[in-house]
């Protein structure tokens, strides 16, 4: 692979990694809020003991679970991008094969 191609791919991987890390920071902030809401609705459901309160808790809990799954997928994507970036850096520094 030519050096310019590697550099282009490395730049692309770096930009994608930076965006993914930025997304993770935003998602982490949102997750704190959603988790707090789920905890609050859980307490309300325990105190109120009504079907409406239980439903609100279920919805908030599902949303928090979905965000956790999204976060895990994003962490895996970041790890893959880091591996790709490391591979490209190695190719750039050491050379092919």
pLDDT value at 97 more than 60:
no
Percentage of the chain modeled with pLDDT above 90 = 87
Q: What region does 96 belong to: left with phi over 0, alpha with psi -120 to 50, or beta?
A: beta
Round to whole Å and give the CA distance between 84 and 14. Answer: 9
Confidence (pTM) = 0.83
pLDDT tens, residue by residue, 53-83: 999 999 999 999 999 999 999 999 999 999 9
The DSSP output letter for 4 is H
Parse the chain into domains and list their residue ranges: 3-90
Extract the tokens encoding 24.
């993770």
A 10 A CB-CB count for 60 gives: 21
Extract the tokens encoding 44.
């309300």
């Amino acid at each position: 692979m030519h050096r310019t191609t590697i550099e282009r791919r490395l730049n692309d991987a770096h930009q994608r990694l930076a965006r993914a890390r930025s997304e993770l920071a935003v998602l982490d902030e949102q997750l704190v809020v959603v988790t707090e809401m789920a905890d609050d609705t859980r307490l309300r459901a325990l105190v109120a003991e009504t079907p409406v309160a239980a439903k609100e808790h279920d919805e908030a809990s599902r949303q928090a679970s979905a965000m956790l799954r999204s976060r895990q997928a994003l962490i895996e994507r970041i790890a893959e991008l880091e591996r790709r970036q490391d591979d490209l850096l190695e190719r750039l520094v050491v050379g092919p094969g």
